[in-house]
């Protein structure tokens, strides 16, 4: 049972978040999803098909997850996914694997800035501990469902790094 709908995965499904450097145009989004789907339909670890899913959000974030109850993703299978995305970066002309920038919301607009720039915005008060950020370090589907991916900065690593606040629940 390889690819399933994202909402069918259990909360403990392992998650990777990939971020496009900019909002994808509809044709780019469709090309990305078509290629990712083709890959996921055959994704396996040591010959065992992986029960997996993908979802795109805001035409900028690609979420890929694996239900590891039947079979877990191996280093080689994760490398294969990364290689597929690297090839798509070249075809689409947009970074998908760069994870250093901070992504945050200003109203309905998503901004992607280098970490030093986010720190300067925090110093000026342009962004605050209440600013909604995307914590791409979450590792389970349940974390996304629980609101830990798209969350106020105070509730993620951003709070500790830029505002001196403790992570909620830590």
DSSP summary character for residue 168: T
Residue 170 and residue 156: Cα distance in Å, rounded?
10
Which neighbouring-strand residues pair with 100? none
**What token pair was written down for 8?**
């069918």
Q: How far apart are CA 43 and CA 37, in angstroms?
A: 10
Class of domain 6-92: alpha beta
Q: How far is residue 108 from each of residues 14, 131, 133, measured CA to CA in Å? A: 28, 12, 12
How many CA atoms lie less than 13 Å away from 114 in the CB half-sphere?
3
Tens-digit pLDDT string for the chain (170 aa): 589 999 999 999 999 999 999 999 999 999 999 999 999 999 888 888 889 999 999 999 999 999 988 777 778 888 889 999 999 999 999 999 998 999 999 999 999 999 999 999 999 999 999 999 999 999 999 999 999 999 999 999 999 999 987 554 44
For the chain, what are the domain ranges?
6-92, 102-163
Q: What is the pTM of this model?
A: 0.92
């Amino acid at each position: 049972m390889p690819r399933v709908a994202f909402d069918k995965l259990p909360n403990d499904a392992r998650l990777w978040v990939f971020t496009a450097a900019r909002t994808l145009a509809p044709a780019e989004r469709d090309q990305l999803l078509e290629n990712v789907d083709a890959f996921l339909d055959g994704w396996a670890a040591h010959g065992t098909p992986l029960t997996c899913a993908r979802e795109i959000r805001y035409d900028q974030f690609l979420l890929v997850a694996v239900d590891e109850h039947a079979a877990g993703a191996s280093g080689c299978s994760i490398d294969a996914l990364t290689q597929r995305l690297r090839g798509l970066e070249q075809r689409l002309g947009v970074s998908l694997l760069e994870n250093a920038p901070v992504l945050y919301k200003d109203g309905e607009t998503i901004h992607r800035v280098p970490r030093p720039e986010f720190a300067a915005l925090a110093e000026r008060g342009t962004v605050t501990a209440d600013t909604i950020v995307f914590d791409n370090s979450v590792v389970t589907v349940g974390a996304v469902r629980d609101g830990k991916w798209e969350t106020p900065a105070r509730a993620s690593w951003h709070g500790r790094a830029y505002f001196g606040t403790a992570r909620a629940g830590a």
